[in-house]
Copies of this chain bind each other. A is one copy, B any other.
Amino acid sequence: MIYVSMTGEESEVFDAKEFIENSLEEIRKAVGGNRVISACSGGVDSTVATFLVHKAVGKNLIAVFIDDGLRREGEPEFVVRTLKNLGIRTRFVDAEKEFFAVFKGKTDAEEKRKAFRDKFYRTLGEVSKELKIQFITQGTIKADIIETVKGIKSQHNVLEQIGINPEIYGYKILEPLRELYKPDVRKVARELGLPKEISERMPFPGPALSLRVLGEVTPEKISIVRKATEIVEAETAKLGTFQNFAVLHNDKATGIKDDKRVYGNIITIRIVDSEDAVTAKVRLVNYEILMKISARITKEIPSVVRCLYDITDKPPATIEFE
């Protein structure tokens, strides 16, 4: 297993240009003439990592986008288009049905994360065998490592810390951003000339919308939370918050639709400010915006009768619900 060590420093003194130069050199040294894949979700971390390796080894890097059926509205198309625009070789893997299959019957948060992670690595393992690659790039950043070590979350892209040996999946790991905090990753993105949609992109978890469906993950539930997410993002785009999303509860609640009592779905809206995801503060969003989101969600998604706003900082809550 090879880790590329980086020269990450405090934000104030971080020099993105210097980081990139050192990084490209270290990646070239580590990879040699081997082939690399990079699982790219379209988030700032994985896209920066992918683009760095692409700059370092060119055609020897193949970006892989796994469509797990858990992405936001329009996201698979956006990611593939962005990678193509950057001149990166890209492989699109349609694994929607297979991912839903692994979630079947699983209701515990940690069990779901593990199911996702395992399926993710098995899928990558298959692609890597097929493409005969030796390295896989991951967008792991410092906060992921800190929280995994502290036991706050089992990040799906920090293998070593959680005792998984990536060799069993058939490849070595390249984590060019592992010493960086989020703001520095964004500086690197800007310095690399990546489009704003990437450099300023809101964090989005690896297991995607599966973390935002409490209880069992099904295509129906993902489609509800996807629509709610679209509404939340549209109505809060201008707030400039760190994260803004929707969560579908497994619990139901009573409501009134067409003058009749119904037992319907509950959606929670979560909007937080954060520097690095290690701590986060609830954004005290204007009620006018919240009430508009609540009205749109209960109107545009017929099964939803109730919207809640998360008013818990991290800690004691985490940013995500699972």
Chain A residues with a Cβ under 8 A of chain B: 109-110, 150-153, 214-215, 249-257, 259-261, 263, 268-269, 282, 284, 287, 290-291, 293-294, 298-299, 305-318, 320-322
Contacts and interface: CB of A to CB of B under 8 A. Distances in A.
Contact of A152 (B249, B256, B290, B310): B256
B249 A251 contact: yes
A312 to B, nearest CB: 5
Contact of A298 (B110, B150, B287, B312): B312
A235 to B, nearest CB: 13
24 contacts: A109-B252, A150-B260, A150-B261, A151-B260, A152-B260, A214-B252, A214-B253, A249-B249, A249-B251, A253-B318, A253-B322, A254-B317, A255-B315, A255-B318, A257-B316, A261-B318, A282-B291, A294-B312, A298-B316, A299-B316, A305-B316, A306-B312, A306-B321, A308-B309
Given A249-B249, A250-B251, A308-B310, 13 more contacts: A110-B263, A151-B261, A153-B254, A214-B253, A249-B251, A251-B251, A256-B314, A256-B318, A257-B315, A269-B311, A291-B311, A307-B312, A308-B312
Contacts of A287: 284, 311
- The 6 A-B pairs with the shortest beta carbon distances in the complex, nearest first, are A308-B308, A256-B315, A253-B321, A284-B287, A306-B317, A298-B316
A84 to B, nearest CB: 36
Nearest to A263: B109
A32 to B, nearest CB: 39
B109 A152 contact: no
A136 B253 CA distance: 32
Contacts of A306: 310, 312, 316-317, 321
Contacts of A294: 311-313
Contacts of A317: 253-256, 298, 305-306
Contacts of A214: 251-253
A279 B251 CA distance: 23
Contacts of A307: 310-312
